Amino acid sequence: MRTILIIADLYHACPRIPGIAKYLARNGWRPIILTGTIGDDFGRGQVPSREFFKKNKIEVVEVDYFRPLEIFKRFSLRSKSKKKKNLSNKNINSSSTEKRTLIPTFAAVLKGKLFKLLYGILGFFFAYPDWERFWRKPAIDIASKIIKKYKINHMISSSSPATAHLIALRLKEKHDIRWVADLRDPWSNNHYYPYGIRRYLDRMLEKRTLKQADALVTVTRHWASDLKIRYSQDIHAITNGYDEEEFSRPRIKLTKDFTITYTGSIYWGRQDPSMIMEGISRCNLPIGLRLFGPFYPKIAKMGDALKINVVQYGMMPKEEVVKKQSESQMLMLMDWDDDKEKGVIPGKFFEYLASGRPIIMSGGVKDNIMHELLEYTGAGYSCNDPSTCSKILSRAYSEYKKTGNVLYNGKKSKIKEFSYDSLAKKYEQVLIKNEYR
């Protein structure tokens, strides 16, 4: 059995890293994930439970280190946590008066902006290359012992944080093992790079670091093409994906009413829900829109103005969200309306693929990868104006009236390519290429 060391902060690297590690283990590897301290947060948010790692034979080694950001965040998040707790699991429809009490006050907005300003200033001077910088030294010490103990010849580092790659670089220098650098987001070329003129320093650090890796992996072909311009080693695009076993339960009965479901956050200014919402309004049919995620007063106002049935259910555990996706007649997705997001595929896209329900997607810039993937998988329809959205929804409603559900034409073999089982096999090919003898 070959042992592989995976350096990844699980607060950031889920579900990608646990998903790939799970299926590497099934293919005969012994994954050891080196992360920061997770403690009681196993099983919360995106981080899987300790039982998940144990069941799937993945060893997790937590490294304790000084986290200045946690001290800084405590001041800001104390009041927010109570507000989120009060909001979660509430059903709030577009006509509810309760929503008005949730609109942030001027003082709250001002406090949020001051927090962001202070965060940016401290980050510029002290978070180089990121806030996890103090993870590096203790992680190197512990990882070195693991490498010697298990005679490890393979290593993956996954960013963000970029500190994971700095740890891997030092380990490669010390132990001469094969290293694959996994970039879930661009490093210095990140389209939302926060530190302005510091970018030059980060570019130099990135170049010095990544040129020592044996191979580079990123999550879209757009970003892989950018890396190929700057680096000479093997570069691969291995997308994020979904775990088939999360969706392998007995088929969930579809909702009796015609429902369209959206799960997760809306990134205002980069995504526009109004196109599909106006399309629903133009249909003049009993189509309901359900949202599971943060409450948005703007969505409630739009629902009122368009006279459509919109219900916001608040935050839910992932297991419940998966059920809501699978029972829905259709799923709503918004492509990015910003050129900077051209290579970004949101995680919910892969969950939607796994749910086996048709997607209606609006928006997007020219040649965006989302439209390409939707057509490739046959998993749904795209529209770029309310009129087209309305026509798609009217056809879907006719199918629903005739058969009791909206027909699904997804290509199973194409969709399976995005399962973590398939993606782990691709990753294995990268790992063993030019393997050390």
- Residue ranges of domains in the chain, CATH in brackets: 2-67+132-241+419-432 (3.40.50.2000), 68-126 (no CATH), 245-416 (3.40.50.2000)
Q: What is the pTM of this model?
A: 0.86
1-24 average pLDDT score: 95
pLDDT tens digits, one per residue of 290-308 = 999 999 999 999 999 999 9
Measured at the CA of 76, the angle between CA 75 and CA 77, to 5 degrees, comes to: 100
Pairing assessment for the beta strands 59-63 and 92-93 based on DSSP bridges: unpaired
Confidence grade of residue 358 (pLDDT, cut at 50, 70, 90):
very high
Q: Burial code of 7-29, b = ≥16 C-beta within 10 A, e = fewer?
A: bbbbbbbbbbbbbbbbbbbeeeb
Q: Check residue 140 and give its pLDDT.
A: 97
Identity of the residue numbered 134: F
pLDDT tens digits, one per residue of 157-177 = 999 999 999 999 999 999 999
Contact by Cβ (8 Å): 84, 104: no
Say if residue 410's pLDDT is above 70: yes
Say if residue 100's pLDDT is above 70: no
Structure tokens at 333: 């997705």
Q: Check residue 430 and give its pLDDT.
A: 94
Give bridge partners of residue 59 from the DSSP assignment: 32
DSSP string, 8-45: --HHHHTTHHHHHHHHHHHTTEEEEEEEE--GGGTTST
Identity of the residue numbered 51: E
Taking each helix axis from N to C end, the angle separating 163-175 and 136-150, rounded to the nearest 10 degrees, works out to 40
Structure tokens at 384: 């770029």
Confidence grade of residue 90 (pLDDT, cut at 50, 70, 90):
very low
Rounded distance, CA 357 to CA 331, Å?
A: 7
The 3-state secondary structure of 213-255 reads CCEEEECCHHHHHHHHHHCCCEEEECCCCECHHHHCCCCCCCC
Q: 48 Cβ partners below 8 Å, 6+ apart?
A: 14, 15, 18, 42
Please report how many Cα atoms fall inside a 13 Å half-sphere around the Cα of residue 129, on the Cβ side: 22
Confidence grade of residue 91 (pLDDT, cut at 50, 70, 90):
low
Q: Check residue 338 and give its pLDDT.
A: 74
Q: Check residue 237 and give its pLDDT.
A: 95
Average pLDDT of the chain? Answer: 87
Element (H, E) at 291: strand 287-292
Q: Check residue 426 and give its pLDDT.
A: 95
